[in-house]
Each structure stands twice: as C-alpha cells, then as structure tokens.
Amino acid sequence: MIAYRAPLQDLRFALHDVLNLQGHCAKLPIGDACNREVSDAILDEAARFAEQVLAPLNASGDAEGCHFDASTGEVRTPQGFKQAFAQFAENGWSGLTAAEEDGGQGLPEVLGAVFKELVDSANLSWGNYPLLSHGAVNAIKHHGEAWQQQVFLRPIVEGRWTGTMCLTEPHCGSDLGLLKTRAEPMDDGRFAIFGTKIFITGGDHDLSENIVHLVLARLPDAPAGTRGISMFVVPKYKVSIDGVIGARNSVRAGSIEHKMGIHASATCVMNFDGAEGWLIGAPHKGLAAMFTMMNAARLGVGIQGLGLIERAYQSALSYSRDRLQMRSLSGVKAPDKAADPLIVHPDIRRMLLTCKSFAEGGRLMTLHAASLVDLVEHGDESTRGEADSLLSFLTPIVKGLLTEAACECTYHALQCFGGHGYVREWGMEQLARDARITTIYEGTTQIQALDLLGRKVIQQQGIGFKQFLGMIVDFCSQHAQVAELATFVAPLAQAAQDWQQLTLEIAQRIQRDPEELGAAAVDYLFYSGYVTLAYWWARSVAAADRSDLATRQAKRATAQFYFKRILPRCHAHAGAIRAGAESLMTLDAALFD
C-alpha cells in the first residue's frame, strides 16, 4: 500500500488564497486569534496524526474487522483503534470546533472540515466513530434542556463519550413515517424505550466510556406519520440528571453487519428493551432535532467522499509515475528504460485528472460549506439567515456529488493499477469497497436529489439556489475583462444561465406531472454539482494568479481539463431531464419480468 501524505500545500491554497480563512475568522468569536500561524500549526499536527497514527491502521483494520460477543452485546474494535482514539481525545481533536464553555477549543468548522478530510483519507472506518458525536453535540446543544447540555456535552466533547444516531428500523429505511419504536413515560420524567434499530454506526465499541444514543421513537399519544416522532437520549450506561453514572442500560447490540466495506466500523443492530432515556426537545418534534444532527452528518459524509478521492488519487499518481508499460504513442519518453511510465498515456491522464479535478474542486466546495456552518452558528441575524439558506441548498450537492465522485474516482484509481488494483496488496480494492457505502448512508443519492430539487428548489422557491447563482454572476462580472480568465468566465456564465433555464423548465413540468420531480432529481443533482465545481475551479485559477508559477500552471491546466471534459456532462443530464418521466413510467410494473 502506498503511504498517505496530507495534501498540505493544496489545503493551504484553498484556505488562505481562495477562501481567506483569516478574514472569515475575523467574523467569528475567535477573531484574530485564529491567524495563519495558528491554522498552519493545526494543519501540521493534523497531518501527523493522520499519516502516522491512523493511516497505518487502515489495511490491518480492514483485514481484522470488528469482533462481536453475542453473550454480552459488546463490540471490540481492531487492534490499535482504541489507542488511536485515546490519542485523538488526549490531543483535543474531539473538541476542536466545540464551544469553549462545553470543553472545546472554539475553532471554526472550516478547520474541523480540514481535519476530517485528513482522517477520512487516512482511515475511513476509524473516522466513523467520532463522526456522529459531532452531530450529537449539535442536537443536544440546540434542542436539549439545560441539564442535558450540562450532563452530556462535556464528556462527548472531551472524547470520553461518543454519540450515535438511531433512526433506521428493519421495516423503515428513509421513510421515517413508518417508524415503530415506542417510548413509554415513567413516573420521574424518564421514558422506557422499546424497539429495534438497524445499521447503527458505532452502536457499540470499546473506544469510549459511554455511548450516547439519540433515538427516534413514538410517544403513546403520537399522531401517525412523521409528525408523531420524538427524540430521546438513551445512554449505554444510565446517567442521572445530576450526571451520576449508573448501571448498564437495557440497550445492547444484537449483532454487527458483515459488510462490503468499512469492515473496521461497527454497524450494529441495536435492541432497546425498556432502556431508560430522556426526551430531547418538545414531544412529537423529534424530526427538527434529527435534522440538526443529520445535516451535520451529511456534510461529514460528503467529506468522506472527498477524503477517499484524495487517497485514491495519491495512490494512482504514485503508481502511474513508477509503473512502466508500453511506449508513448507519440514517441519514446523514457529512452533509458524498457518502457515508458503509465503517466505518459492519455487515458491514464484522463483518469488521474478526473480524480485531481474532483479532489481539489470538491475541497473548496466542502470548505465553503463548512464556513457557512460557522456563519449560521455565530453570525448576526441577517448573516445567519443568508448562510443557512445557502448551506441548506449546498448540503445535498456536497453529499450527493462527492460520494458519487468517490465511487468513480476509486474505480479510476484501481483501473490505473490494472490487475494489481484488484488484489489486496495495494489497498485500492479497499478504497473502492469503502467508497460504495458513502452514497447510501445518511441518505442515498436519490434522497439527496429529492431534497435538493423537491425541498430546496421547489418548496423553498430556490432561495439558496438564487444566492449561489448570484455568486457566480458576481464573479463573472468582476472578471469579465480579465483576458487570462476568459476561457473560464464565459463558459461559467453560460452554464449558470443554462442552469437557471433548466430549473424553470423542471418546475413547470412538475406542475403538470408530479412524477417529473422524481424523474429529474438525480440528473439535476449531478448537473448542479458540476456547475458548482466549475465555479470553484474558475475561482481557483483566479486565486492562483497570485501564487507561484507551478501552482498557476497546475491549477490552470486542471481547470481546463475540468471545463472541457467534466462540465460537458451537464448536456447529457439536461437531455435526460428533458426526456421527462414518460420513458420511466410507461412500462407496467408487471412487465418488468
């Protein structure tokens, strides 16, 4: 397996040259305390932890997997995982972006996103354990009672406890209206939770002292459907109102799944047999708390896709530089060797540049989204509202596009290795297996697409969409007379105009036939994602004009590839959208045999 190296140079370019991290931090409570010296030091330490602690455990964790004791319901993680988690907590990474009053460091979410990318590139399975703790902190902080915040937040922020999100049931995937888990009131304000949840990431493990489950369930008087769902905090070990840890709660893992990938991440069936819990938020209003947690997780999974793209690209690039295969079609490139390296061949370059363009463009897209999280949390009323609507629009694009791109790019990287990519030795098949789940959990690509088109564009009348179009129009107007950017600005302006026109057409189609929403949604998500990345590539070229020659050349060449080879995919998606729902819905269900 080729060693992972954190892409520090591109991270610094993204943070400082394109996104102006220091200017962003000046708008936040941390202010000038988060200067370039501080942020660069954080990047260096994060890189060391990812490269030296987590990456060496990736292949061994995949091979060993998790261990389940059916007699106790206990899960043991692979060798080295527990020690890595202890180091993660001791060094303060678990509270990097959490509020100082809760035991955190109060740093911006945009730096948390950088740390997460490095973790997920190094070891995606390990990165799943702290992933949902971040969402649990958000849910409790925004929806919990004061005593719940006091009791639960600090132990999670300090890494002594971890969190989970318990939604899915055997009969109920994304359709939460079918949820059956019930919550029965007890005399003292507690509730007894009964039911079974499946596919619970980190439902049990040996990394932390306690595990805090956030569980969706129904009260006895709950109305049917999603309007009758409440959220409860159910710890593995009971916790009283005054924070005293009690006996083992009546919640246990019934089994762990044997999966295609992420073998070292425990995916559990969780049985709640009268487990004691506390209501979070108002009765029957659990979906609001759940979406607070879910939206954070969706951004997190988008970053997982980014991390896998980067890791796959690094491996394929290194192999393609060293592996000798055939001669270049235009003549010998390495006369002193028996054959030319793979990287001279056009199709190898196509695959490498696809990975590179998604990694570097996707990095800017995710960091921008993370910066919006900071503004939603800390901005004034006007800033919060604008940032929230834009973040809501971009979240399904980040999650949907980058996880699908991770599947594409890990495939390309494996293909660069040829037969060696298909065997375990080089680690490429693990990346391809691990990538596949990212398009499914925390909402499938189809769910992201319906959220984007149905809720964010149609129901919300495209508030965030219009904001992002405005960003593109402003950029193109400001750089319209810059000759060096003409090859990017003109096509970007046209793409934005076409995007707006296509969106209007879809809205009109949906008014005539509601099935057009489902028929268009996934193609619309890809179309939106490709235009979004085009904007960030144009901005990269503009920012690179202030950088060194090598950076300018690399950014411009990669952007040219993206605009000429990836952005034109929009035409195919537009064609599919305009074909309508008829070709999908004509065939009778009985005739699918």
Residues labelled as active-site residues: 442
Q: Cα separations (Å) of 543 from 401, 497, 538?
A: 24, 24, 9
Q: Cα separations (Å) of 293 from 29, 143, 216, 231?
A: 23, 11, 12, 11
Tell me whether residue 258 is exposed, middle or buried, using C-beta atoms within 10 angstroms of its C-beta: 0 to 12, 13 to 18, 19 or more.
exposed
CB neighbours (10 Å) of residue 241?
Answer: 14
Closest to 121 measured CA to CA, from 307, 360, 367: 307
Closest to 562 measured CA to CA, from 411, 391, 358: 358
Backbone angles phi, psi at 144, to 5 degrees: -80, 160
Render 297-337 in DSSP notation, one character per residue. HHHHHHHHHHHHHHHHHHHHHHHHHH-B-S--TTS-S-TTS
Specify the length of the chain in residues. Answer: 593
Contacts of 32 (CB under 8 A, 6+ apart): 22, 25, 26
> Virtual CA dihedral for 50, 529, 444, 353, nearest 10 degrees?
-50
Q: Are 193 and 181 in contact (CB under 8 A)?
A: yes
Closest to 172 measured CA to CA, from 163, 184, 183, 180: 180
Helix 549-561 / helix 515-544 crossing angle, nearest 10 deg: 160
Q: Is the dihedral of CA 357, 359, 362, 363 positive or negative?
A: negative
d(Cα 165, Cα 112) in Å, to the nearest integer?
A: 20
Tell me whether residue 339 is exposed, middle or buried, using C-beta atoms within 10 angstroms of its C-beta: 0 to 12, 13 to 18, 19 or more.
middle
* 569 SS3 class: helix
Q: Mark residue 214 as left, alpha or beta (left: phi above 0; alpha: psi -120 to 50; beta: remaining).
A: beta
HSE-up of residue 114 (Cα within 13 Å, Cβ side): 31
Q: Mark residue 442 as left, alpha or beta (left: phi above 0; alpha: psi -120 to 50; beta: remaining).
A: left
Closest to 500 measured CA to CA, from 478, 537, 459, 472: 472
Closest to 265 measured CA to CA, from 196, 209, 212, 203: 203
Q: Are 355 and 409 in contact (CB under 8 A)?
A: yes
CB neighbours (10 Å) of residue 361?
Answer: 30
Contacts of 4 (CB under 8 A, 6+ apart): 50, 51, 55, 121, 122, 311, 314
* Joined tokens for residue 89: 């907590």
d(Cα 447, Cα 439) in Å, to the nearest integer?
A: 10
Q: Where are the beta strands (DSSP E) in 251-307?
A: 251-256, 267-280
